[in-house]
Chains A and B, each alone.
Chain A
Amino acid sequence: MRFLRGTAILLVLLTVAAAGYGQQQQSTMTLSGVTYTKWLWGNQRYDGSLYNFTNVPGEGWGDNGQGTEIELLVAAKPNRFLEVSGRIHSRFSQNFWTNFGGFGGSDGSCGDANGGGDCGEFDSRSNQYVKLRGMNVRVTPGWKYMDAVSFGSTDLGMFDPFTMGKIRYIDRDNLNALMASGTLAPNLRYDVARISLPRLWAGPNYATGEFAADDSAYGLQLRWTGPLVDVTGIGEFVNDVEVDSGDIIVDDGRELTNRYENNVYGIKADIHPSGPYAFRAAYYYSESNPNLTLSPAAFGLNGYSPVIADDVSDSSWKVNADLTDPFGVGLSFNVEAFDIGADYTSILAARRESDVLLTEGHDATWAYPGPANAAYGVFGGNPSRIGYSGWQGNMQQVATINVDNEFTDFDEPAAETVIGWKGFTIVPRWQRGNLEVAGEYTHLDYNTNWQAWGDPSRAIDNTKYPAAEIAGIGVGNPYRSAYAPFQEKETDIALVRAKTTINVGKGIDLFGKFKMISEEDLRMNDARYLPYQANDCPGGGVACANNANFYQGTNSTNGLYENPPVITVNGVTGYKWAPFDDLSDDDRDLDYKMIQLGAGYQLTDIIYGSLTYEHYDVDLQDGNSAFQAYRLHELSSGQHEKNKIIALLRFPIGGAEAGFNYEYAFGEFDPDYGTGFVPQVADASIAASAGVPVGSLGFAGRYGGWNTLETREYEHQHLKAYFKVRF
């Protein structure tokens, strides 16, 4: 009886659901969409916005608050050839529930880490504004050689992360383009696009100049698909123009001049014969030509720009082989060799949400130079934004220095640049029953291994390379930094991970990982680059002679590694910091171990939960007090112990979904900055600025930044809960 009734019910109901396309009803308008509610809590006590992280000037970040977004979907078919779709979307930004509707004035504290939501009623960041998003018109003319023409928003999802990749900035489809696609011949497809260049970031200095409306990129992709081989060719042509200021006679209109050109060519082959073997190869070549009169002509030690300040060209390639269970014992292999050029530049390459290399890379809990993920944390007023725990999981790799982790929360993936990386990865994977064991070994060398930026004819603080936070500082690598003035680095990554399901109850998922990173960077490896002549600082309380050493012409590193003054602290006389007089003073030696253990369980029919523990044990020598992390960041030399406990819950309820992610990170950093200097004592002013106890020991660097010598203990908690409803 039950069977008959149930079957009958399903018969009827699924008839409606499955074959009910034709059950048209008269309806004048349907509203559909999604609403997201987010609840953030954290003990950093920031409330600058409802995102955990941003670097964007004028935007806030925070780890506390509640807010709701709504996304209304709009779609229509005006006629048989046209389809129009778009969204009307509010934004979390600083629209907290506590804004009481976004009314009222501002006390001027809007933005950054605190004062979120207080921008006032007439500031869009906190007045619950909505924006038009994703507006796209698609024409399907039904022509032989053209499937569709579309104009409006796009995520460039049909192209390639090395050339024109997915570019998310809150939304995935902020780019606007005119696009066409179709078939030229059997199995030969094309995609062509004219993309309007985003003025927000798509050019030198993260801008496209004053005259931006005509800036564009053209892309062409040809893809031939065969039974065994696919071949794709891609071309990308970026043209950022400005009004020619030299054209003063405007009667005949005004001439244009280039601000930036970027041409990228790529070819990819995918060989997939039947059987256990598959092979892929990709080669890219880029030309990047900024107009140095209209964009930065050079950078200092830590310049910020997605474009090298010179005419450069370079290539990137990678080759993959996938061997799926070739011996019939459940053992498979993925192998990748790669070489990403130091000067490879594609301004529209994927900035995140792509993973161009097989390796896990670094862990996202170490995303910035300081031991607690602060940039320039050696100076007061530069707190860690994402916090001590960083992001969860490992980094994703993108082939650009234009990396974007903006407006993310701690539970989202973060990306790191792989510009300059070369090496290989081997991933064996063994499966048997419910057990999967996988490993990885990656060896990394770098095309960015050089001395004095690879060009000793220039001063050390005059380079074409935008180094951002400067590569290779801290436990991980600053995620958007590919370049450093001195580098001689090699990295080895090895890991093994396993997961299985134990058939107890509804099945307990068990997973774990052990990861090791060994990295050595000699940085300065040639004595000609030492800042001062030998024995310049004799020690014993005697002042340095300050006889500069010149590596070429009048170029010296003495401006970077300035000699210390002699000081006396508590009766001890010596140098304020160790003189940079030995090539080992800036050496980096990383011994990194991470272990992860976790379990997940389907707690009820709809609730899945997991609990994960991670332990990081890092022994890092990252230069000494002479190096001072290029005098810009906190020194991270010493012993790091970090622990994470992560609790996850996820429960889909028909048409809705709720989730919960709580992370408790705790640990300590025991600094070791070497010897050769007199430890100093933090007074009240230093204590307030550096966040250390009065009377604690440390040393003040060349720019006055304070590095404490005391063991630092960290405790960072944060939580993100959400509820998503489709309607």
Chain B
Amino acid sequence: MLKSLLAALLIATPLFAGDALFTLSDPRGDDYGTGTLKYPMSSDFQQGDLDLLSVRAIRVDGGTQFEAKFARPIRQPERRTVDGIGTQLNDLAKLGFYTFNLDIYVDTDGVAGSGSTTTLPGRGVMIDASTAWEKVISLTPDPMRARSELKRIVVRDERRRGEAEGRKVVADETRTELQSSVDDFVFFPTQVRVTGNTVSFFVPGSFLGEPQKEWSYIVAVSGADVAQRLDQQNRLLRMGDNGESLMVLPVATGRPVDRFGGAVEHDDYMPPLVDVIVPIGDDQKKVLSNYDTNEERAAVLKGVKP
């Protein structure tokens, strides 16, 4: 009877197993960003939590399954109140993780200068023009809110840009197109599975297409600000900063409880990225530290071909 039941379940349940497309590996123990970045003192984080070891892509029915493996078991969101109204952490982070964002910028055309060289808000880095992206996959604990936030940010920044040019109102058509463009170019996975050290997520072919050999990828891990609280104080601490942050835990000096530490004072260009996959021969520390606050130049990441 039990055997029959298990057999029925096995048949009824689709497998994620499929053709392996590629694997990107990353050294163990390099979850220090620029080299000076320190985890928050909060008990929600521990060294190794955001240490990415590999990203694997698998062809499955209807799209691509990505599997990201970390050095330590992924922390599961508890049922815990996180704000003044009683919101529960596991309601915000329904997908089974809450401490990190994992962004994959995909250069699908391989044409230098084609695509975008920017990154999602709050990441604090740029993309090398040679591997400018056409698609972004952002695995984040609260994808619906992230998507909504990004649409808000995009429209608000367009308004600010318009104001600088003497236009105070964003036309409805522009607003709609902007918000739609978010869905065209940025995908927030919602089909996610967490097992021990590994998080698997599905990206439909309708968004990404089928990964090709010549594509390159930039994979970046950041801490997640699920309650979206810290971007408020972060803005205050950067008096006058118009920058927005999309679910990212910022970096500060010293070693705070609620954000990453290790920044140098007024070093506003230090990226809050914890771990990135860099091309063979490159050093993550050097890549992420290659920014210049005085010249207002962000660090630049370059895509990796599997």
| Chains A and B belong together in one complex | yes
Whether B79 pairs with A138 at a CB distance below 8 angstroms is: no
Whether B84 pairs with A353 at a CB distance below 8 angstroms is: no
CB of B7 within 8 A of chain A? no
Q: How far is the CA of A708 from the CA of B8 in the complex (A)?
A: 50
Stretch among A79-87, A238-246, A305-313 lining the B interface: A79-87
CB of B206 within 8 A of chain A? no
Stretch among B209-217, B233-241, B281-289 lining the A interface: B233-241
Contacts of B115 in A (CB 8 A): 7
In the complex, residue of chain A having the shortest beta-carbon distance to the beta carbon of B238? A21
**Minimum Cβ distance to chain A for residue B127 (Å):** 10
**Minimum Cβ distance to chain A for residue B60 (Å):** 10
Taking CB atoms and an 8 Å cut-off, the chain A residues in 429-453 that contact chain B are: 431-436
Contacts of B256 in A (CB 8 A): 138, 148
CB of A655 within 8 A of chain B? yes
CB of B41 within 8 A of chain A? yes
Main secondary structure on B side of the interface with A: loop
Known: A9-B154, A73-B236. A654 touches B149 (CB 8 A): yes
Whether B237 pairs with A83 at a CB distance below 8 angstroms is: yes
Whether B268 pairs with A652 at a CB distance below 8 angstroms is: no
CB of A12 within 8 A of chain B? yes
Whether B254 pairs with A22 at a CB distance below 8 angstroms is: no
In the complex, residue of chain B having the shortest beta-carbon distance to the beta carbon of A430? B9
Q: How far is the CA of A726 from the CA of B154 in the complex (A)?
A: 17
Whether A18 pairs with B237 at a CB distance below 8 angstroms is: no
Contacts of A602 in B (CB 8 A): 144, 190
Contacts of A38 in B (CB 8 A): 85
In the complex, residue of chain A having the shortest beta-carbon distance to the beta carbon of B267? A21
Q: How far is the CA of A391 from the CA of B252 in the complex (A)?
A: 38
**Minimum Cβ distance to chain A for residue B269 (Å):** 6
Whether B185 pairs with A69 at a CB distance below 8 angstroms is: no
Whether B181 pairs with A6 at a CB distance below 8 angstroms is: yes
Q: How far is the CA of A80 from the CA of B118 in the complex (A)?
A: 29
Q: How far is the CA of A2 from the CA of B180 in the complex (A)?
A: 10
Known: A19-B125, A138-B254, A332-B196. A6 touches B73 (CB 8 A): no
The residue from B46, B117, B120, B144 contacting A608, defined by CB atoms under 8 A apart: B144
Among A17, A36, A83, A322, which residue has the most Cβ atoms of chain B within 10 A? A17
Contacts of A166 in B (CB 8 A): 43
Q: How far is the CA of A75 from the CA of B237 in the complex (A)?
A: 6
Known: A32-B236, A412-B86. A655 touches B152 (CB 8 A): yes
In the complex, residue of chain A having the shortest beta-carbon distance to the beta carbon of B126? A19
Whether A332 pairs with B195 at a CB distance below 8 angstroms is: yes
Interface size of A by CB at 8 A reads 103
CB of A26 within 8 A of chain B? yes
Whether B265 pairs with A140 at a CB distance below 8 angstroms is: yes
Contacts of A432 in B (CB 8 A): 9-10, 13, 15
Q: How far is the CA of A27 from the CA of B242 in the complex (A)?
A: 11
Stretch among A150-158, A471-479, A666-674 lining the B interface: A150-158
Whether B298 pairs with A19 at a CB distance below 8 angstroms is: yes
Contacts of A155 in B (CB 8 A): 257
CB of A606 within 8 A of chain B? yes
In the complex, residue of chain A having the shortest beta-carbon distance to the beta carbon of B294? A22
Contacts of A653 in B (CB 8 A): 148
CB of A598 within 8 A of chain B? no
Contacts of B298 in A (CB 8 A): 18-19, 21
Known: A16-B160, A154-B257, A602-B144. A413 touches B118 (CB 8 A): no
Whether B80 pairs with A33 at a CB distance below 8 angstroms is: no
The residue from B15, B123, B240, B265 contacting A18, defined by CB atoms under 8 A apart: B123
Interface size of B by CB at 8 A reads 100
Known: A160-B43, A227-B29. A74 touches B269 (CB 8 A): no
Contacts of A652 in B (CB 8 A): 142, 144-145, 148-149
Known: A148-B261, A158-B42. A325 touches B196 (CB 8 A): yes
CB of A518 within 8 A of chain B? no
CB of A15 within 8 A of chain B? yes
Contacts of A27 in B (CB 8 A): 239-240
**Minimum Cβ distance to chain B for residue A213 (Å):** 25
Q: How far is the CA of A435 from the CA of B115 in the complex (A)?
A: 37
**Minimum Cβ distance to chain A for residue B190 (Å):** 7
Whether A148 pairs with B255 at a CB distance below 8 angstroms is: yes
Taking CB atoms and an 8 Å cut-off, the chain A residues in 17-52 that contact chain B are: 17-27, 30, 32-34, 36, 38
**Minimum Cβ distance to chain A for residue B31 (Å):** 11
Q: How far is the CA of A74 from the CA of B296 in the complex (A)?
A: 26
Whether A9 pairs with B178 at a CB distance below 8 angstroms is: yes
Q: How far is the CA of A160 from the CA of B125 in the complex (A)?
A: 35
Contacts of B44 in A (CB 8 A): 157
Contacts of A393 in B (CB 8 A): 79
The residue from B47, B80, B229, B258 contacting A413, defined by CB atoms under 8 A apart: B80
**Minimum Cβ distance to chain B for residue A631 (Å):** 36
Contacts of A655 in B (CB 8 A): 149, 152
Q: How far is the CA of A147 from the CA of B259 in the complex (A)?
A: 14
Contacts of A454 in B (CB 8 A): none
Contacts of A726 in B (CB 8 A): 228-229, 232
Contacts of B195 in A (CB 8 A): 324-325, 330, 332, 431
**Minimum Cβ distance to chain A for residue B259 (Å):** 11
CB of B19 within 8 A of chain A? no
Among B85, B126, B244, which residue has the most Cβ atoms of chain A within 10 A? B85
Whether B83 pairs with A157 at a CB distance below 8 angstroms is: no
Whether A9 pairs with B232 at a CB distance below 8 angstroms is: no
**Minimum Cβ distance to chain B for residue A702 (Å):** 40
CB of B48 within 8 A of chain A? yes
Taking CB atoms and an 8 Å cut-off, the chain A residues in 398-419 that contact chain B are: 408-409, 411-413
CB of B163 within 8 A of chain A? no
Q: How far is the CA of A322 from the CA of B195 in the complex (A)?
A: 11
Residues of B bordering A, CB below 8 Å: 9-10, 13-16, 28-29, 38, 41-44, 46-48, 71-73, 78-81, 83-88, 91, 115-126, 134, 142, 144-145, 147-149, 151-154, 157-158, 160-161, 177-178, 180-182, 184-185, 190-191, 193, 195-197, 228-229, 232-233, 235-244, 246, 252-258, 261, 265-266, 268-269, 293, 296, 298
Q: What are 30 A-to-B residue pairs whose CB atoms are below 8 Å?
A: A6-B184, A7-B116, A7-B185, A9-B154, A13-B154, A13-B161, A14-B119, A14-B120, A16-B242, A17-B244, A18-B118, A18-B126, A19-B118, A19-B124, A36-B85, A83-B237, A147-B255, A158-B257, A182-B255, A276-B196, A322-B196, A325-B195, A332-B196, A355-B78, A411-B86, A432-B9, A432-B13, A433-B16, A606-B144, A722-B85
List 17 additional contacts besides A147-B254, A654-B149; criterion CB under 8 Å. A11-B116, A13-B154, A14-B120, A16-B161, A85-B236, A148-B256, A157-B42, A157-B258, A272-B48, A274-B28, A396-B78, A431-B193, A433-B13, A434-B13, A501-B191, A606-B148, A654-B152
Please provide the 5 A-B residue pairs with the shortest distance between their CB atoms, ordered closest to farther: A654-B152, A324-B196, A148-B254, A6-B181, A140-B254
